[in-house]
Amino acid sequence: MFPNIDPQNGIPLFEQVCRQVKFAIADQAYLPGELLPSVREMAQKMAVNPNTVARSYGELQREGIIESVRGTGMQITAEARRICQKERVRLIQERIVSALQEARFSQLTQEEVTKIVEREIQRLWKSK
Amino acid sequence: MFPNIDPQNGIPLFEQVCRQVKFAIADQAYLPGELLPSVREMAQKMAVNPNTVARSYGELQREGIIESVRGTGMQITAEARRICQKERVRLIQERIVSALQEARFSQLTQEEVTKIVEREIQRLWKSK
Amino acid sequence: MFPNIDPQNGIPLFEQVCRQVKFAIADQAYLPGELLPSVREMAQKMAVNPNTVARSYGELQREGIIESVRGTGMQITAEARRICQKERVRLIQERIVSALQEARFSQLTQEEVTKIVEREIQRLWKSK
Amino acid sequence: MFPNIDPQNGIPLFEQVCRQVKFAIADQAYLPGELLPSVREMAQKMAVNPNTVARSYGELQREGIIESVRGTGMQITAEARRICQKERVRLIQERIVSALQEARFSQLTQEEVTKIVEREIQRLWKSK
DNA sequence: GTGGTCTAGACCACC
DNA sequence: GTGGTCTAGACCACG
């Protein structure tokens, strides 16, 4: 359920963790009122240090997506899904746009880019 | 000629500088045998610390794209254009693919992604 | 009778519970020889986990304010009132002094602080 | 200039550091555009771990009081003073009010509290 | 068991 | 030199 944490891709680990959790919530893998896996559990799942997960959870808490219940765990808030769905689109869109902007500036033609994009979309979504 | 340097987008400055120079060479803005602008000059153009440019030039030299000519400056090599054109496509493609992969994993539908991509391509290349 | 338990104000819950009980005893709401409400009952009154109350009772016992009577409950000791009255003043005074010290150190003027204090005292005790 | 960090008073160290820095800025000990002492330097001044200071600086950054200048340090923002002056009053007032509320609820009389407060204010500000 | 805080020490990218 | 990130491991308060 949480693959994809990559220490070598430039994006900080704690931020990748945030993204994964947001995507999972947007996807209703966790529902409001439920508890997120504990810091230690999640750390093991994702093969990162517990402190890294703790930092991510702190971030999510600040964004109003989860809240700490003393001695119990981190609980999904009522607004979590709404926030995460917006975030999901925003985060991904941001990254796509940024990549396309670089392509544009570097003088690639619309045709070249379209070809790359269509090929990859076919490849990635074919298994559906 | 060199806009787009963004200190806040996660990609190291010196790497952004490398990219810009590679793209300019791929685009034949600089031809083999010509000199690159001096470190200081380029630093000013790009609004970046001279040390950052120096590091980028070192990187380009290591990749065989430019070579230092004693007392004169950094000269574009004969193979520069070939290398840079390959690089340009590789770098951009890599980034696009990585962004689309995240979109795929996060359960966005093919339709949603296609919509974003097409809209942005229209927007970015409309001025052509 | 026991409002004011606030999970978010930095002071541990079990300590807030201790304070409330001490203040109630100082106030003669409980007299020597009487029994405190059972752990479960008190937990419900204060909307707090029974374990938290149990810990507080343990603390109060260690301070000689209550004593456990086998199979009966926690009994108010003879010295309870004396201890609690001293405690009450000490605890409150300590907290006020600490807050004022920070105000002093942070270069607030005597006038600013006096204004805040007088306003709040008026507000809090007006219903008398 | 930065005394008063106390590991034993219940308030987290990183938060005490934040408060101290805010108070210093409110007091114009640091002006907009200036750099805060480096993480390592401040850590030594305050006798805490550099990571603790880093966390505080991150917090201040999130509140718009300082901003990170790559490779240079943490710079006081233009709005820092305004924010910190508001914060100073808010933080201190909050603490005073909270202490007085406890006094109120615990059945101390207005006279008792007034006596304590006036005595302490005299004592703390007498050296002015 | 849970999260929260703190320390120590490391490595990196940037100036 | 600077801040940013990550790890490892500890202790505490709370349920």
Which chains have 3 or more CB–CB distances shorter than 8 Å to chain C?
A: A, D
Residues A110 and B121: their CA atoms lie apart, in Å, by 7
Which strand F bases fall within 7 angstroms of a protein CB? 1-9, 13-15
A70, closest residue in chain C (CA to CA): C7
The pLDDT of residue C1 is: 61
B60-94 in b/e form (b: 16+ CB < 10 A) is beebebbeeeeeebbbbbeebbebbbebbbebbbe
What's the CA angle centered on C7, arms C91 and D59, to 5 degrees? Answer: 95
Q: Does residue A76 contact residue A36 with C-beta atoms inside 8 Å?
A: yes
Q: How far is the CA of A36 from the C1' of E11 (A)?
A: 31
Q: How high does pLDDT run on average in chain B? A: 85
DSSP for chain B reads ------TTSSS-HHHHHHHHHHHHHHTTSS-TTPBPPPHHHHHHHHTS-HHHHHHHHHHHHHTTSEEEETTTEEEE-TTHHHHHHHHHHHHHHHHHHHHHHHHHHTT--HHHHHHHHHHHHHHHHTT-
Kindly indicate the confidence band of residue A89, based on its pLDDT and cuts at 50, 70 and 90.
very high
In this prediction, what percent of chain C has a pLDDT beyond 90? Answer: 25
Residue B85 has pLDDT above 90, yes or no: no
Residues D95 and D113: their CA atoms lie apart, in Å, by 15
Chain D hits for C18, CB-CB cut-off 8 Å, are none
Q: Which chain B residues have any C-beta within 8 angstroms of a chain A C-beta?
A: 3-4, 9-11, 19, 23, 26-27, 88-89, 92-93, 95-108, 110, 112-114, 116-117, 120-121, 124-125, 128
CA distance A70 to chain B (A): 30
D49 touches strand F (CB under 7 A): no
- Of D residues 63-92, those with CB within 7 angstroms of nucleic strand E are 70-72
> What is the sign of the dihedral through the CA atoms of D39, D41, D43 and D45?
negative
pLDDT in tens, D85-126: 999 999 999 889 988 988 888 778 999 999 999 999 999 998
Residues B29 and A86: their CA atoms lie apart, in Å, by 41
The pLDDT of residue D123 is: 94
The pLDDT of residue D81 is: 96
Residue C128 has pLDDT above 60, yes or no: no
Residue C127 has pLDDT above 60, yes or no: yes
| Six-digit token string for A118 | 């269509």
- The candidate with the shortest Cα–Cα distance to A108, out of B57, B77, B91, is B91
- The candidate with the shortest Cα–Cα distance to C96, out of D87, A5, B105, D104, is D104
Q: How far is the CA of A49 from the C1' of E10 (A)?
A: 14
A38 touches strand E (CB under 7 A): yes
pLDDT in tens, B25-71: 888 888 998 888 888 888 888 888 888 888 888 888 888 899 888 88
Cβ partners under 8 Å of residue C56, min gap 6? C14, C15, C17, C18, C21
CB distance B92–A98 less than 8 Å? no
Q: Where are the alpha helices (DSSP H) in D3-109?
A: 13-26, 39-46, 50-62, 80-105
DSSP letter, residue D35: B
Best of C18, C89, C92 to mutate (most D CBs within 10 Å, chain D): C92
Residue D6 has pLDDT above 70, yes or no: yes
C51, closest residue in chain A (CA to CA): A71
CATH architecture for residues B13-82: Orthogonal Bundle (1.10)
Chain D hits for C27, CB-CB cut-off 8 Å, are 106-107
pLDDT, average across residues B110-123: 94
- The candidate with the shortest Cα–Cα distance to B65, out of B51, B81, B88, is B81
The pLDDT of residue D3 is: 61
In this prediction, what percent of chain B has a pLDDT beyond 90? Answer: 20
C with B: touching (≥3 Cβ pairs within 8 Å): no
> Which residues are bridge partners to A35 per DSSP?
A75
Give the up-direction half-sphere exposure of residue D26: CA atoms within 13 A in the CB hemisphere.
21
Q: Which chain D residues have any C-beta within 8 angstroms of a chain B C-beta?
A: 70-71
pTM: 0.82
Best of A67, A68, A69, A70 to mutate (most C CBs within 10 Å, chain C): A70
Sequence ranges of the domains in chain D: 1-128
Q: Which fold has domain D1-128?
A: Arc Repressor Mutant, subunit A (1.10.10)
Counting beta carbons within 10 angstroms of the beta carbon of residue A3, is it exposed (0 to 12), middle (13 to 18) or buried (19 or more)? Answer: exposed
| Six-digit token string for D27 | 């007091």
Residue A118 has pLDDT above 60, yes or no: yes
Give the up-direction half-sphere exposure of residue B16: CA atoms within 13 A in the CB hemisphere.
22
CB distance C7–A70 less than 8 Å? yes
C with D: touching (≥3 Cβ pairs within 8 Å): yes
The pLDDT of residue B24 is: 87
Q: How far is the CA of D14 from the C1' of E4 (A)?
A: 12
The pLDDT of residue D120 is: 94
Contacts 24+ apart (CB under 8 A), D46-50: D46/D2, D46/D5, D46/D17, D46/D20, D47/D5, D48/D5, D48/D13, D48/D17
Which strand E bases fall within 7 angstroms of a protein CB? 1-9, 13-15
The pLDDT of residue B114 is: 95
CA distance A49 to chain B (A): 22
Q: How high does pLDDT run on average in chain D? A: 90
Q: Does residue D87 contact residue D38 with C-beta atoms inside 8 Å?
A: no
Chain A hits for B95, CB-CB cut-off 8 Å, are 99, 102
Look at strands D66-69 and A73-76 and give their pairing.
unpaired
Residue D76 has pLDDT above 90, yes or no: yes
